[in-house]
Amino acid sequence: MELERILHKHGFGTRKACRGLVRHERVLVNGVLSDDPFADFPTDGLVFTVDGVDWPYQEQAVLMLNKPAGYECSRKPQHHLGVLELLPVQLRERGVQPIGRLDEDTTGLLIITDDGQLNHVLSSGKRKVPKVYLATTKHELDAAQIAQLLEGVLLHDEPAPIAAAAVEIAGPNLLRLTLTEGKYHQVKRMVAAVGNRVEALHREAVGALTLPEDLPAGHWRWLSAVDLEKLVKST
């Protein structure tokens, strides 16, 4: 693929702007300076560098973010900063968007991509992709509440009871739930339905993909081939 097209695809501006980056000697390909915007390069394993920052070639952008509290999962946020503000402008220019949403005050694993097919697969209610949440509750949990969550609770505007796929007490006021649906404020509403209240909520996993312990809040990383395989196998 021509270097100009590679840069354009990765959000580095218009074709003209990308040609300028190359001609001003700001771009390296696999560590070698290139001043020809029309030079062809094989994309498999390609890493290009712009102004000292390395970028692996990504046919589709798929990444994970450790979402902090205080950010909205929307391209047009209304009351808080949008979660996409945590990403480099080049990724935002690619048109990436979160797969599903986490509430403004919910933290944890968020998958972000410009791959429409992957977004559809992971968002589809028919696929029942499990998502694991760790909820801090106001009151200490008991066996009766756990049983209710597993049996199903009736939520407002829902025609039938909603049940958790798995529930465990992770501490006196810590509840780990696995859900396969994506209802509005589902964890908070389910916990409220059994007479408790969610004080804090954190998503630990989507399918077989778990949030790495070494990824700080507000930081992101590309999904590896192994990560992607875990996601696909979850659907």
Report the C-alpha gap between 184 and 169 in whole angstroms: 23
The size of the chain, in residues, is: 235
Token pair recorded at residue 53: 């920052």
| φ, ψ dihedrals at 62, nearest 5° | -135, 120
Is residue 106 a contact partner of residue 67, using CB atoms and an 8 Å limit? yes
Report the C-alpha gap between 81 and 90 in whole angstroms: 18
Q: Is residue 103 annotated as a catalytic residue, yes or no? A: yes
Report the C-alpha gap between 112 and 98 in whole angstroms: 4
Please report, for residues 52, 180, 183, the alpha-carbon distance to residue 115 in angstroms, rounded to integers and kept in the order given: 27, 22, 23
Q: Find the catalytic residue in 54, 103, 114, 214.
A: 103
Q: Which residues carry out catalysis?
A: 103
